[in-house]
Amino acid sequence: MSYRTSPADLTGMPPGVPHIIGNEAAERFSFYGMKAVLAVFMANYLHLMDGAPGAPMSTTEATAHYHQFNFWVYVTPIFGALLADIFLGKYRTIILLSIVYCLGHAALAFMGTAGYSGNWLIAGLALIAIGSGGIKPCVSAHVGDQFGSRNAHLLPRIFNWFYFSINIGAFVSMLLTPWLLQWYGPHWAFGVPGVLMALATFVFWLGRHRFIHVPAHGLGYLREMFSRKGLPTLLRIAPLYLFVAIFWALFDQTGSTWIFQSQDMDRRFLGMDWLPSQIQSINSVFVLTFIPLFAYVVYPAISRIWTLTPLRKISLGLFIMATSFALIALIQQWIDDGQRPNISWQILAYALLTISEVMVSIVALEFAYTQSPRTMKSTVMCFYLLAVALGNQIVAQLNHYIQIPSAAHQQLEDELGSLDPDWRDSPRNVILPGHDGTTGTDDDFIARIAKGGASKMEIPGGQAYERTATKLRSIIGPNDHFPEDEAFLAANGHDLGTDLWGNPIRYERLNATNARLISAGPDNTPNTLWDQGYLLTNTPPEAPAKPSWTDKLHPETTWLERRQQALGLTATGDGDEEEHFTTTAFSGGQVKLQGAAYFRLFTWLMLGTAIAFIPFALLYKPRDILQD
């Protein structure tokens, strides 16, 4: 069947536009809804999805995986653009990759029904990255294809609708899917966005006879990129992409580290208790508020005193982003010191972050468009998306780097993998060979197995750590915070002593409610997978939850509580402690950078980036190139 390949001679809105707007709202609902709960799911739910519980993923590892997924979402647009411009055209590329997108959501919703959930997670995220990323450069360009010379004046209006639909879809999904995950579980939380993506695909397909189908251009796209104009243009604008990449390295942590921070905050705001993943929805509200506010009030007011060029807007925005993360670091320091700040402080950080987004993301995208040759507009847009990918890769690699693997857990996984499946769930003690690789020696680990995983780990020479933990237990009450250093132990006449290999045992406070006793272990080298010790947790009694008007909208128990009951899991700990004070033996598995220090690192990185941007902005000579 043949379709129209050039715009009709219209003065009004093209007939295919409602299908594109409806598709975009539903697609953004599906994407942001899935992404809103992804980090929390990996850290708190994934290990409980199968018949036997596994080891929970640390928040650092979940953060690394979350940003690795974001990286691929923003790398695949270049392949989607190539597929559309060289081979299939935009419409067929969008339809094909939307089906791939739907299959990705289906794979996530299928977790826990058959096979290993981790494999379904990888498959689902890979398909969503291909589908979502691949259609990114096609959808907005497909909108522009619908307009001819007589109705081109309506383009600003349609792109406003386009941006509005994106933020409405994101806002609703970021409120709904965390609620579904909390009370009804991952199948609903990932399934509902999948249904919306299928609906988006169907709405887009219904418009096939109303769309303008601009055909693919063959290899002209590649010739454009590597022409005498192409490469110099990309090289000239490349420094801007590097600055923007650092911006996105901070911005996209609203879906990972900011969520994990909000778990330790008082989230009662506007008369209801917000779930950690729901807080990020405030960004969409701020975006819709700040864009007209800055366009019609803030920018004109500043320009009366100091002319605001695009590069000056970006420069101010970078400094504001550093301020936002400085506030997040301050909030984390309060949490580390045992306070429970209200979520309104993080909402203030979101306001600063959104101001930065308006001044950096939107302005930089427009500026990059104006600086590219007329035949390279789509190419420059794809490279802008690659800058977003680079920013997420920076965060992913940093979180990979600061993780120290656990020698005991690695050996235990190998041991469990060799067990007969019929024996995996039988309670037993498993002796692991330790550093020397031989069982029956002093450095053996002992893992107590129950329900297919380790319920308790014994480390060699554990008595030395236990003595100090017992002393701490006698000193610290349920509402007390761990002291900042070990001087209090010396004041009470207690020496931390040494481990089995003569290494000194160190006391390290992680935050007000967590500390660890740690030594270099059998390899006599700190910060390796052989470091060992005790993680100490002092949990204050929880205050009774205040009733909320939302309590009548969900079951009495969360999905996690029901799932743990179904798996026969009980409270963790070594069994002999008072309820508030628990100890857990470990070998490796610690994090090199955490708490407020983590956020301060990104604050300084952003501040340095903002300062480095100033000479670039002063030296760059803009050359605006617009379409005829």
Structure confidence at residue 163 (pLDDT): 73
Comparing 377 with 393, the larger pLDDT belongs to 393
Does domain 1-218 fall into CATH 1.20.1250.20?
Answer: yes
Structure confidence at residue 72 (pLDDT): 95
Mean pLDDT taken over the chain: 84
Segment 568-591 shows an average pLDDT of 70
Structure confidence at residue 260 (pLDDT): 96
Structure confidence at residue 574 (pLDDT): 44
Structure confidence at residue 455 (pLDDT): 60
pLDDT in tens, 249-271: 999 999 999 999 999 999 988 87
* Ranges 190-194, 283-287, 417-421, 541-545: which has the least confidence: 417-421
Kindly write down the DSSP assignment for every residue of 125-156, as one continuous string.
Answer: HHHHHHHHHHHHHHHHHHHHHT--TTTGGGHH
pTM score of the predicted model? 0.90
Residue whose pair of structure tokens reads 């947790």 in the numeric block = 537
Structure confidence at residue 225 (pLDDT): 64
In the predicted model, is pLDDT for residue 624 greater than 70?
Answer: no
* Ranges 61-75, 99-113, 533-547: which has the least confidence: 533-547
Residue ranges of the chain that CATH labels 1.20.1250.20? 1-218, 225-403+592-628
Distance CA 87, CA 91 (A): 11
Structure confidence at residue 576 (pLDDT): 43
Give the amino acid at 360. Answer: V
Distance CA 408, CA 193 (A): 38
Structure confidence at residue 628 (pLDDT): 45
pLDDT in tens, 302-326: 999 998 888 999 999 999 999 999 9
Domain spanning 225-403+592-628: which superfamily?
MFS general substrate transporter like domains (1.20.1250.20)
Structure confidence at residue 575 (pLDDT): 41
Distance CA 98, CA 28 (A): 12
Question: For a pLDDT cut of 90, what percent of the chain falls above it?
Answer: 43
pLDDT in tens, 456-515: 788 998 998 998 888 888 888 888 888 877 766 666 666 788 999 999 998 988 888 889
Three-state DSSP string of 529-572: CCCEEEEEEECCCCCCCCCCHHHHHCCCCCHHHHHHHHCCCCCC
Please report which confidence band the pLDDT of residue 80 belongs to, taking 50, 70 and 90 as the band edges. confident
Structure confidence at residue 555 (pLDDT): 80
Structure tokens at 18: 């409602």
Distance CA 22, CA 25 (A): 5
Nearest to 318 by CA among 553, 605, 89, 16: 605
In the predicted model, is pLDDT for residue 36 greater than 70?
Answer: yes
Structure confidence at residue 16 (pLDDT): 81
